[in-house]
Copies of this chain bind each other. A is one copy, B any other.
Amino acid sequence: MNIGDIAKRTGLPAKTIRYYEEIGLVTPHREANGYRVFDDKDMHRLTFLARARALGFPIEDCRTLLALYKDDTRASADVKRIAQDHLAQIEDKILQLQSMRDTLTHLVRECAGDNRPDCPILKDLAKG
């Protein structure tokens, strides 16, 4: 399969797949004309990557997860730790965003949104 086909099948942009090759996450073969050829193993790795990225794992986590996946002697504890750490980061982020959302919701509700200059949003930002 060429890069366009695999892109369609994995849902990953061709650019992203080239980038993954550049950083060593996949190593497709090359045809005589220089084109990349992807086999089922590449397909599988890319699908794995797509799912891991969709769960928000950073690239380096993905690399580690792929290595663990390949390693039959892995301990599930190693996988779990990575997932838990990532989960903790996500939960932190959610809390931050919820706090922003709450403040913003309040401010937006207070603001008349008409053509007068008086604005509680700006007032709040300015009050420090």
Contact = CB atoms under 8 A, between A and B. Distances in A.
Contacts of A68: 119, 122
B101 A87 contact: yes
A100 B108 contact: no
Contact of A125 (B65, B90, B104, B108): B65
Contacts of A103: 55
A7 to B, nearest CB: 15
Helix, strand, loop or mixed for chain A's interface?
helix
For chain A, the bracket of interface size reads 35 or more
A100 B90 contact: yes
Interface string A52-63: 101110000000
